[in-house]
Amino acid sequence: MTTTANLLERLSNCRVLVVGDLMLDEYRRGHVERISPEAPVPILSVVGREATLGGAGNVVANLRSLGMRVTVAGVRGEDATGERIVALLQRLGVDGESVIGDPERVSTRKIRFVSLEHGQQVFRVDEESLHPIRGTVEKAIVDLVREGASVSQVILCSDYLKGLLTKNVLNAAFVVGRERGIPVIVAPKGSNALIYKGASVLMPNLKELSRLVEAPVDGDRWLTDSAQRLTAALGLDALLVTRGSDGMSLFEQTRSGLRRVDIPTMAQNVYDVTGAGDTAIAAFAASVASGASFETAAYLANVAAGIVVGKHGTATAAIEEIRSHFTDQDRRPAERYGAAGALRTASAQ
């Protein structure tokens, strides 16, 4: 029987293809001590700066933190921000040559100005292009998807609505996934559910699920009904819904119908939820790539997310931190929790 330790050890032998919107997250931290005489706004005296990968780049960072090998298919503007994104990927040991330069785009950059006194943002500045990629750039991404899938165990599509995941790019991922028999996992941001038809697994949060089914969040029964409608409409193998402090709910297709598994949150202390969704989908995809069931992968994703929200700022969960939650004698997480009664498994028919 596969133990959690064995599963984690296999991660370094697996590769995930990440197709998604790459960003640069910059932070300017400083002190707010007075109001501007020019306008009723605070003056931030900057004392520190840092830059990290955001969006699909943060997913890549989380995968690398787990020891995964990663191939990226992305786009950037031909600008300084794009060069920094590539440099940060290379620093992680990821080939930046598959990030296509597009002279018609501005690389996505989010600059957050943070007050050290208050521990929160004062304001944010965004630089980005939102129009869909097209022409030779789109064709190059499609070619990269087909090439990258040939050496990967999972395709992960990270959608931040910045224009990379066009219908053609998504379809290419879905087609090659079916051809090669590898799962395609999507983090959806759009409201057009049909564009994701062909995916193996969708992993939205409650707000994203609400947009996809075009109905406001309305309790537990709404969650089950919405999952049933969406999985049927899109032909999904599974839907994994992240629910914040309520943990996650997995809806998986079985021979007897749609099975629901609720996984309680593993977070002990919550300091910052920034990037927790990226951590969760990275850990889920990594686990699936290593041969875990969707249920086991969801449990490990929940553990990883619980670790990250206990840290300040955009962070990752290291494989050593996840391993510390288990022993070599652990059975599969679903069995372990089933025995303790912490997982609720029910028919969603």
Question: What is the tens place of the pLDDT at every residue in 101-118?
Answer: 999 999 999 999 999 988
**Confidence band (pLDDT; 50, 70, 90) for 275?**
low
Residue 239 corresponds to which tokens in the numbers above?
A: 């839907």
Q: Find the mean pLDDT for residues 47-63.
A: 95
State yes or no: pLDDT of 324 exceeds 80. no
Q: What is the pLDDT of residue 311?
A: 60
Q: Find the mean pLDDT for residues 286-305.
A: 91
Q: What is the pLDDT of residue 322?
A: 76
**Confidence band (pLDDT; 50, 70, 90) for 276?**
confident
Residues 132 and 105: their CA atoms lie apart, in Å, by: 10
- Strands of the sheet containing 344-347, edge to edge, are 99-102, 69-77, 15-20, 154-158, 184-187, 201-202, 238-242, 248-254, 257-263, 344-347
Query: What count of other Cβ atoms lies within 10 Å of the Cβ of residue 245?
Result: 10
Give the DSSP letter string of 184-199. EEEE---S-GGGGTT-
Q: What is the pLDDT of residue 270?
A: 45
Mean pLDDT of all residues belonging to the chain: 87
State yes or no: pLDDT of 337 exceeds 50. no
Q: What is the pLDDT of residue 242?
A: 92
Return phi, psi of residue 91, to 5°.
-65, -30
Question: What's the whole-model pTM score?
Answer: 0.88
4-23+54-109+128-347 maps to which CATH number?
Answer: 3.40.1190.20
- Strands of the sheet containing 108-115, edge to edge, are 42-55, 22-35, 108-115, 120-127
Q: What is the pLDDT of residue 306?
A: 79
**Quick one: what percent of the chain has pLDDT higher than 90?**
72
Q: What is the pLDDT of residue 266?
A: 66
Q: What is the pLDDT of residue 349?
A: 41
**Confidence band (pLDDT; 50, 70, 90) for 16?**
very high
Reduced to 3 states (helix: H, G, I; strand: E, B; else coil), residue 73 is strand
State yes or no: pLDDT of 291 exceeds 60. yes
In sequence order, what are the residues at sequence separation of 6 or more whose Cβ sits closer than 8 angstroms to the Cβ of residue 263?
A: 247, 248, 249, 250, 298, 299, 302, 337, 343
Of the listed ranges 85-94, 185-194, 262-271, the least confidently predicted one is 262-271
State yes or no: pLDDT of 310 exceeds 70. no
State yes or no: pLDDT of 4 exceeds 80. no
CA-CA-CA-CA torsion sign (9, 14, 18, 22): positive
Q: Residues 160, 189, 123, 48: what is their CA dihedral angle, to the nearest 10 degrees?
A: -40
Query: What count of other Cβ atoms lies within 10 Å of the Cβ of residue 337?
Result: 19
State yes or no: pLDDT of 274 exceeds 80. no
State yes or no: pLDDT of 7 exceeds 90. no
Residue 21 corresponds to which tokens in the numbers above?
A: 């919107």
Q: Find the mean pLDDT for residues 122-137.
A: 95
Report in angstroms the alpha-carbon separations of 215 from 138, 190, 194: 32, 14, 16
Hey, which bits of the chain come out as E strands? 15-20, 22-35, 42-55, 69-77, 99-102, 108-115, 120-127, 154-158, 184-187, 201-202, 238-242, 248-254, 257-263, 344-347
State yes or no: pLDDT of 24 exceeds 90. yes
State yes or no: pLDDT of 344 exceeds 70. no
Residue 196 corresponds to which tokens in the numbers above?
A: 């994701």
**Confidence band (pLDDT; 50, 70, 90) for 2?**
low
Give the DSSP letter string of 20-33. E-EEEEEEEEEEEE
State yes or no: pLDDT of 100 exceeds 50. yes
Provide the b/e sequence for 306-330 (b: ≥16 CB within 10 Å). Answer: bbbbbbebbbbbebebbeeebeeee
Q: What is the pLDDT of residue 165?
A: 98
State yes or no: pLDDT of 273 exceeds 80. no
Residues 349 and 224: their CA atoms lie apart, in Å, by: 9
Q: What is the pLDDT of residue 334?
A: 42
Pick the residue with more confidence: 337 or 170? Answer: 170
Looking at the annotation, which residues are catalytic? Answer: 278
Return phi, psi of residue 332, to 5°.
-55, 140
State yes or no: pLDDT of 271 exceeds 60. no
State yes or no: pLDDT of 151 exceeds 90. yes
